[in-house]
Amino acid sequence: MADAVSIGLGALALLVALIAIRIPIAYAMILVGGIGIAIVNGPAVLLSQLKTLAYGQFSVYDLSVVPMFILMGELAVVAGLSQALFRGANAWLGWMRGGTAMAAIAGCAGFGAVCGSSLATASTMGKVALPELKRYNYSGALATGSLAAGGVLGILIPPSVVLIIYAIIVEANIVTMFAAALLPGLLAVLLFMLTIALYVLIFPKAGPKGGAADRREFIAATLGMLPVIVIFGLVLGGIYGGFFNPTPAAAVGVVLVWIYGAFRGRIGWAAMKLALLATAGTTGMIYLILLGAELMKIFMSRIGLPQQAAQWIAEAGFSPMMVMVMLLLALIVLGCLMDSLSMILLVIPFFWPMLLELNGGLYQGADGAGFGMSTADLKIWFGILALIVVELGLITPPVGMNVFVISALAKDTPMIETFKGVAPFFMAELLRVGLILVFPALTLWLPQLLGG
């Protein structure tokens, strides 16, 4: 077994090296996983796996929700939903000191709920909100920092493609994961707004008050948000209410966003064609990474690396909670090096079996052992924690993809100022992680309520 573990650790090192030299992560995982299976079990076993693996992986009905939600996000970008959301939120909040930045956070949350992509949320809301923030003389750090941080809300607030992928990897219920993400997502919005309030309290000139909207403008801006509220309510309300499953819900969302965009003259045949092509490209990339992740999972399972890691941790005397904290710290570090989806697909197939072993094992039915919760609850709790720390990678150097996106839009603000601006939001995210670690009910209460 020691030889097998050595092979596994060598394979992980090779995988990291391939990613470091910019080999696409899908190809890197397929190569390492395939070679690993061939070395450990022989080429015949690898060929037998490949014969049915791709079909078995991609014919899962739950996976059909991915292209539908991606298409909904692509259409939402061109339909102009972001302008309506920011205008409405600014009418409600813009009169306060720091209110326009708070409106940007609210707009990011609403758009992220429809779009599901952090980078698209940051880019789209940045184009809409940055001119207003500059018009009211917001500091470059607060303006760009709040938009970069607001973009991360798209990865967690349901519907989220990354959340769906996590659910498929650990075989969790997608509806349950959506329910679990709702309260932590709203908590992030609240903490971000409180962060802005404290920031402008300390630095009043960083976020001046905006102009209060007159009655007619306020009503028009509020009514402009209604289509987004209706789309969000029908999609998630239909899922939570049991009227339809996630895939039909995503189809409903696509149709509603298309109708909204077509009515506003923003979505014609050309825009629809571009959205479909972008959806096909993104979906193909995700599916190929899923295939690589499955090969890696099979390889790691056959050599028993997760089980050996769990045994080593137990013998070292680490408590399950200490292990959870170490894994989350590792995810934060990895988030500085790769994008969120790649990280989830790369590390979850390795981390999850190890946590499962620490919790008592899959076949022992040891509810209450390890983390003091059932396997189903552990899937939910760990998934939400993992996605939150994955979010942090979008605003931390050296990658910080959201920071790069916003910096490209705000050319007059040095990138170092944007990183300074996201630092308070980073601390707010760490506070959210701490609260969820101490109070797992923040993620478990709503799924249990709906399940009951």
Give tens-digit pLDDT for 261-297: 998 888 889 989 999 998 998 888 888 888 888 888 8
CA distance 353 to 86: 42
- What is the predicted pLDDT for the residue at 362? 40
Q: How does pLDDT run across 390-445, given as a tens digit for each residue?
A: 888 888 876 678 888 888 888 888 888 988 999 999 999 999 999 999 999 999 99
- SS3 call for 139: coil
Length of the chain equals 452
Longest dimension (CA), the chain: 74
Binned at pLDDT 50, 70 and 90, residue 355 comes out as confident
What residues form DSSP beta bridges with 97?
A: 209
**Cβ–Cβ under 8 Å, residues 110 and 226:** no
**pLDDT at position 431:** 95
197: Cβ–Cβ under 8 A, 6 or more apart, which residues?
Answer: 98, 102
Q: 3-state class of 97 per DSSP?
A: strand
**129 close to 207: Cβ distance less than 8 angstroms:** no
User: Does 367 score more than 60 pLDDT?
Assistant: no
* Confidence (pLDDT) at 445: 93
- pTM of the predicted model, to two decimals? 0.85
Percentage of the chain exceeding pLDDT 70? 94
User: Which residue is associated with the tokens 């707004």?
Assistant: 193
3-state SS class at 209:
strand
CA-CA distance, 418 to 149, in Å (whole number)? 10
Nearest-angstrom CA–CA distance, 40 and 30 = 15
Q: How far apart are CA 123 and CA 3, in angstroms?
A: 48
402, 335 contact by CB (below 8 A): no
Domain boundaries, the chain: 1-59+284-303, 60-267+304-451
CA distances from 248 to 63, 67, 91 (A): 12, 12, 34
